[in-house]
Amino acid sequence: MSKSKLGIIGGSGVYNLPELSGAKWHDIATPWGAPSDALLEGEIDGLPLVFLPRHGRGHAVGPSDINYRANIDALKRVGCTHLVSLSACGSLREDLPPGTFVLVDQFIDRTFKREKSFFGPGCVGHVSMAHPVSPTLVERLEKAAQEAKIPHSRGGTYLAMEGPQFSTLAESRLYRQWGCDVIGMTNMPEAKLAREAELPYATVAMVTDFDSWHPAHGEVDVRQIIAQITDNVEKARKLILTLISDFPREAEPCAGGSDKALEFAILTAPENRDPELMKKLDAVASRVLSR
């Protein structure tokens, strides 16, 4: 059994983890290009952590321009065994007001401008996305939220839109009719790529607003979002510190099979695989390609 190394992807407002001891920023090269920023590595209470600001420090990278493949590859490359995604989002439900943390378990992907897979011509792979998050990791996050007394809801569907504009009123109403719970711009294809990289993944969707559907809320106001993000960031840090206090130092198997997602996923025969693509897959798929 390998040692645990927890990866944290910080969304809007979460650009650092000041609690890390021995923290050091360092650049990681990937065959998919540059990640959003350097990685911050250190530890808390003896647990190794890696932090990546999804939008870069200073929020310089928009949701459609994030190199999601490079981000996931870099986190896998430095040895992360689990990934927790912290993401600002809008609420599509009255009972999920701003300040609520939603532990998402499903996604609907409405993005269309992004590279969504590590696989392609020369190596075809199909992973199951029926259950995209790690139930083991979600259980630990739920326990941490309870202990930290953070308003939260376990389970929910995250609608990933392209952005950078917010939803029209008609779109917001449509997504509510679909049964979606929260809406954001960044968790797809991030969750898909984490699954392909066999990294147990969980999303903490931190509600900042009611999107545009709420009759008393009106249209999304960036000033209000920023004020709520500030409060959410403090709660997010508290959540992560509480999670770490009880996080297993030995990497435990994922009950949802995320850590074995590629077991039967690759269909291309070894003799037909593109050597150049095989080199690029050295970090994310080495467990199955080396056999």
Contact status, residue 194 vs residue 84, Cβ threshold 8 Å:
no
Is 129 annotated in a binding site? The answer is no
Is 131 annotated in a binding site? The answer is no
Neighbours of 163 (CB within 10 A): 15
Is 211 annotated in a binding site? The answer is yes
Among 37, 181, 209, 259, the active-site one is 209
Question: In whole angstroms, what is the distance from residue 143 CA to residue 121 CA?
Answer: 42
Question: In whole angstroms, what is the distance from residue 275 CA to residue 259 CA?
Answer: 25
Is 54 annotated in a binding site? The answer is yes
Label residue 129 exposed, middle or buried (CB < 10 Å: 0-12, 13-18, 19+): middle
Which residues have CB under 8 Å from 264's CB, separation 6+? Answer: none
Q: Is 211 a catalytic residue?
A: yes
SS3 11: coil
**Which of 3, 282, 228, 253 has its CA nearest to residue 118?**
282
β-sheet bridge partners, residue 90? 183, 209
Cα dihedral sign for 249, 49, 192, 178?
Answer: positive
Is 88 annotated in a binding site? The answer is yes
| Token pair in block for residue 17 | 């983890």
Is 1 annotated in a binding site? The answer is no
Is 251 annotated in a binding site? The answer is no
Residue identified by tokens 């378990």 is: 105
Is 87 annotated in a binding site? The answer is yes
Question: In whole angstroms, what is the distance from residue 52 CA to residue 77 CA?
Answer: 13
Among 37, 105, 211, 259, the active-site one is 211
User: Known binding site: residues?
Assistant: 12, 54-55, 87-88, 185-186, 209-211
Residues in the annotated binding site for phosphate: 12, 54-55, 87-88, 186
Active-site annotation, residues: 209, 211
Binding residues for substrate: 185, 209-211
